A = this chain, B = another copy of it.
């Protein structure tokens, strides 16, 4: 095999992998957006076949010898090719470590678990979900052992979502956050609460849908390449390679801000995916590099931009056009304060910017404990409730509003949650750097996302997975990650808001 032949084979292989991932991704997407309720069986069956084919394709002898050949020619490869070979060989070695039947059985388990989790959440029945969740944790621990026998199994999963993250780095990171956020929240709680009545009322789905489209257009999201659907738990997915992104939201007719900030959050993910260099299409680099960097975009748009005084002052008159009666008595400043009301609450996705990371810490501590074996899945609800009391000071009334609220565990995404907090913190450093060359507040007051998107495209989006998260962060900000930039941002914002 010559290097040119190997390159051609690598291109063809990546196109094939993309096709399987497109099909698998679409089957999941269909399952949570349009599929009738009783149809999980067919999806499970089909996913087990397709994941098996994907497994065989990824670990087949032809693939392995191709990648090993390319690896032996590293010095003649481009930066992108080297990174491609590194990532693909890592995936191959991990997949080879997991027996195929276990891998396929796990994909089937996830389909069933998603179905059962929905029912369990609806009916507040953790016991129904418990055996599946037990099986998921056991499988993940086993898989970590296969793939990285020398590594702590939870470290293995943290690293899957944020390359480089460990229990140790996360413990430190969360300790810093906690040291600043807990006293800040106490100060806030000692002050009179803001009035958020402008967010409440009746907001018909049709008008909320109109708002979603307005937000997507305002953010500069190309709706020819980004769809919007509704689902239980909002998320973003890319189908195929670049240029087919789907975001989802969930409308509550008594609170338009919930969907509004879901759309902005998912819109941040979508912009990232849509901003990747087209030359990376149909390669393994054509995707956001990690969940931490991905969340750094979604939460940057949602909070740092979307909940800023500058942006809300731009948006408010447009909101009044969409909801003229409901918002008749409010001002832009009322709205700004309402969407930034800090208050311990039950639901992570509805949490304000200040308390959000406390929700993450609960999940992080529980995941660690289950992986350690110091907490049984059976005891998760009690432990969840205890930590919500300890970190947020509130009582959890039932598991629907507690341990069953998120879809992550039923989807096998254990180790994912810390990336929300990491991403939130990364964003504060981007902002500081971006402000050196972009009049961020001025842009937001005009509703002009162009220069902001251009900065993100240049420094983050375009690279896809070409560099590691730490490399991208360093290139974008010119410095190492420092969570105190985020805590300072929070302190300044809430000091102003609550007149501390």
Contact = CB atoms under 8 A, between A and B. Distances in A.
A227 B23 contact: no
Given A27-B26, A224-B36, A239 B19 contact: no
A473 interface: no
A212 to B, nearest CB: 14
A23 B18 CA distance: 13
A277 B41 CA distance: 16
Given A37-B224, A224-B36, A244 B26 contact: no
A15 interface: yes
Contact of A243 (B42, B49, B244): B42
A34 B35 contact: no
Interface string A274-291: 000000001000000000
A259 interface: no
A19 B42 CA distance: 9
Given A23-B23, A23-B27, A18 B36 contact: no
B27 A46 contact: no
Contacts of A222: 38
Nearest to A240: B42
B42 A241 contact: yes
Contact of A36 (B16, B23, B30, B226): B226
Contacts of A239: 30, 39, 42
A36 B216 CA distance: 13
Contacts of A22: 27, 42, 46
Contacts of A226: 36
**Contact residues on A (Cβ < 8 Å of other chain), bracket:** 35 or more
Number of copies of this kind of chain in the complex:
2
A35 B30 CA distance: 11
A43 interface: yes
Contacts of A39: 224-225, 227, 239-240, 243-244
Contact of A240 (B19, B34, B43, B227): B43
A274 to B, nearest CB: 11
A229 interface: yes
B243 A41 contact: yes
A222 B23 CA distance: 26
Nearest to A49: B19
Contacts of A242: 42
Nearest to A227: B36
Contacts of A19: 45-46, 48-50
A53 interface: yes
A33 interface: yes
B34 A18 contact: no
Contacts of A224: 36-39
Nearest to A241: B42
A206 to B, nearest CB: 8
Nearest to A223: B36
Contact of A46 (B23, B29, B30, B229): B23
Contacts of A27: 22-23, 26
Interface in A131-185: none
Given A46-B240, A244-B35, A30 B41 contact: no
A269 to B, nearest CB: 15
A357 B19 CA distance: 41
A225 B33 CA distance: 14
Interface in A1-38: 15-16, 18-20, 22-23, 26-27, 29-30, 33-38
Contacts of A37: 224
A42 to B, nearest CB: 3
Nearest to A239: B42
A205 to B, nearest CB: 10
Nearest to A206: B206
Given A224-B36, A227-B36, A49 B241 contact: no
A50 B22 CA distance: 10
Given A23-B46, A45-B282, A38 B240 contact: no
Nearest to A226: B36
A231 to B, nearest CB: 12
A77 B29 CA distance: 40
Interface of A: 15-16, 18-20, 22-23, 26-27, 29-30, 33-39, 41-43, 45-46, 48-50, 53, 222-227, 229, 239-244, 246, 282
19 contacts: A18-B45, A19-B49, A20-B49, A22-B27, A22-B42, A23-B23, A23-B46, A23-B50, A26-B26, A29-B30, A33-B34, A34-B246, A36-B225, A36-B246, A39-B239, A42-B240, A42-B244, A43-B240, A45-B241
